[in-house]
Amino acid sequence: MYKENCVFCEIAKGRAKAKIIGESASFIAIEDIRPAVEGHTLIIPKNHFDTLLDIPDELSIEMIRFIRKIAKFLFDKKKGSGFNVIINNFESAGQEVMHAKIHVIPRKKGDGIKFLTGQMVGLTYQC
């Protein structure tokens, strides 16, 4: 299930260049061509799904396991001491290409990258 003229579908089919970091039955991990930091990796479904909402439930466990595998790989390669997992869904949330993708971004203390965190003013969390 591919979509015509989708760069990530072309990568999944092996028709477009990408540096592949890892692969599972339904997902591929590739280096981001515009990395926020060294090691910034994209995990893309091999089949075309526009957003996270379109990825079937039956792929959820495989997706999470694969995200963990790639994060561990980046840790083992000493790319960071922490990491963010980000999924931009729809244009208003920063999605530029309508093919679901998960960003795994290695982090180092003081790297200067700012994301939404629990430190935002007015938010409190209790466990």
Mean pLDDT of 58-67: 97
Confidence of residue 127 (pLDDT cuts 50, 70, 90): low
- Which regions of the chain does DSSP assign to beta strands (E)? 20-23, 27-31, 41-45, 82-86, 102-107
Q: Which two tokens stand for residue 37?
A: 């930091």
Model pLDDT, residue 1 = 77
pLDDT for residue 114: 78
pLDDT value of position 72: 97
Residue 123 has pLDDT above 80, yes or no: no
Per residue in 7-19, pLDDT tens? 999 999 999 999 9
CATH 3.40.50.2300 fits 7-107, yes or no: no
Residues 6+ apart with CB under 8 A from 92: none
